Structure 1
Amino acid sequence: MQRRHFLYALGTLSAAGALGGTGTQALAAGPVKGATEVDDSALAGTSGGTLATWRGATPAFALEGLDGKTHALSQYRGRVVILNFWATWCGPCRNEIPAMGEVVRRYRERGLALLAVNYKEPATTVKPFLDKLPIDGTVLLDTDGAVYKRFGSLGLPATYLVDRTGNARFWRMGELEWTDVGLHGHIEALLTQKTGAAA
């Protein structure tokens, strides 16, 4: 069965270069100044094109969640994080929610967490949507899109794998194949790594 990878484009390539070099152009150019270097050669599995290695600094952020609390990425150090940018109007985002939830449940007890960052929608829109299609993770509201822009994303959905030290290691713009053996290999490897391994 042929894999489908969808993407809702939201920005321009030129914008990525102005955002700290974390977009497509910057990836081609190499790591940005001050970025934490990590060696991914020892990671298990291959993504088969599903994931690309992240070669930029990992933006720090704190956003309000639907629970009314502020959640910072730094609070999740010690865990591996799936950081997923999505919107209720994004068909590919809706398509991958159930499969993404299965992955989170499979690895949660080993230290996997999901931060599902909604792109520029109010809580009054997000809450009714989640009543019908729940997300098995912490839902955050990026109401002005500022955090999304800092990651240099150009479309939705956009997904990043963040290691236990808080460094983004892999990413994809577009719908992920959540059953992909390479994706699971990367998650397994990041879960197995000790906290100081990628520092």
Structure 2
Amino acid sequence: MQRRHFLHTLGAIGAVGALGAGGAQVRAAQPVKGAAEVDDSALAGTSGGTLSAWRGATPTFALEGLDGKTHALSEYRGRVVILNFWATWCAPCREEIPAMGAVVRQYRQRGLSLLAVNYKEPLATVKPFVDKLPIDGTVLLDPDGAVYKRYGSLGLPATYLVDRAGNARFWRMGELDWRDVGLHGHIEALLTQTGSTTA
């Protein structure tokens, strides 16, 4: 199966051949509008370049959700979190929503959650979109893109796996193949951990 990797760059649309996370070839598409190291050598599976290890501190944040309540990353301690940055205008973001939701449902009872952080769009845009294409997790609004910027992303979608202790462990810039064996191996390994890892 051929994997498609998309990169929404901050500048003008670039040429094919730019290097993404882990040195993978990515295809430029729409431009974006507008701690301590953790040893992951014992984790199960091999991502085959799908994911890169995250190094350093994990930015904390609290954002308003579609429900009008503020949700903080720290509230999810004890669970493994898929942190996904997306936008309604981002085609690969839209395409991966159903497959990402299937993974969340598969592992939810074992402690997996999804925080889907929308990049710089108003509630009036995001809510009708989610009503038509439900996202199987908590949808948050990052109205000025400040949280997105703190995670050092350069394109959409951007996905991070956060362990039970609240530490980002892996990340990917670009669309993920949510059926990837390595991706599932990393999720399984993080779910198995007790949450004693410290930042």
Establish whether TM, by shorter chain, passes 0.5: yes
Aligned-partner residue type, residue 174 of structure 1 = G
Q: What is the rounded CA distance, in whole Å, between the counterparts of 2:163 and 2:11 in structure 1?
A: 27
Residue 102 of structure 1 aligns to a residue whose secondary structure is helix
C-alpha contact 1:39 1:198 (8 A) present in aligned 2? no
Q: What is the rounded CA distance, in whole Å, between the counterparts of 1:11 and 1:193 in structure 2?
A: 39
Q: CA deviation at 1:11?
A: 5.8
Higher relative contact order (Cα pairs below 8 Å, separated by 6+ residues): 1
Aligned to 2:194: 194
In the TM superposition, 1:140-159 aligns within 5 A as 140-159=140-159
The answer to which structure has the higher helix fraction is: 1
Aligned to 2:68: 68
Q: CA deviation at 1:37?
A: 2.3
Aligned to 1:109: 109
Aligned-partner residue type, residue 3 of structure 1 = R
C-alpha contact 1:115 1:138 (8 A) present in aligned 2? yes
Q: CA deviation at 1:6?
A: 1.1
Q: What is the rounded CA distance, in whole Å, between the counterparts of 1:119 and 1:179 in structure 2?
A: 25
Q: CA deviation at 1:198?
A: 5.3
Aligned-partner residue type, residue 154 of structure 1 = L
Q: What is the aligned-residue RMSD (CA, Å)?
A: 1.5
Q: Deviations for 1:5-40, whole angstroms, at most 9, x for unmatched residues?
A: 11211269xxxxxxxxxxx7xxxxxxxxxx122110
Is 1:164–2:160 an aligned residue pair? no
**Structure 1: which 5+ residue stretches go unaligned?**
13-23, 25-34
Q: What is the rounded CA distance, in whole Å, between the counterparts of 2:10 and 2:104 in structure 1?
A: 27
Q: What is the rounded CA distance, in whole Å, between the counterparts of 1:10 and 1:60 in structure 2?
A: 23
Is 1:55–2:59 an aligned residue pair? no
Q: 1:11 to 1:187 in 2, by over 3 A?
A: farther
Aligned residues: 179
C-alpha contact 1:160 1:171 (8 A) present in aligned 2? yes
TM-score (norm 2): 0.87
Q: Deviations for 1:50-81, whole angstroms, at most 9, x for unmatched residues?
A: 00000121001000000111000000000000
Aligned-partner residue type, residue 80 of structure 2 = V
Q: What is the rounded CA distance, in whole Å, between the counterparts of 1:155 and 1:80 in structure 2?
A: 23
In the TM superposition, 1:1-199 aligns within 5 A as 1-10=1-10, 35-197=35-197
TM-score (norm 1): 0.87
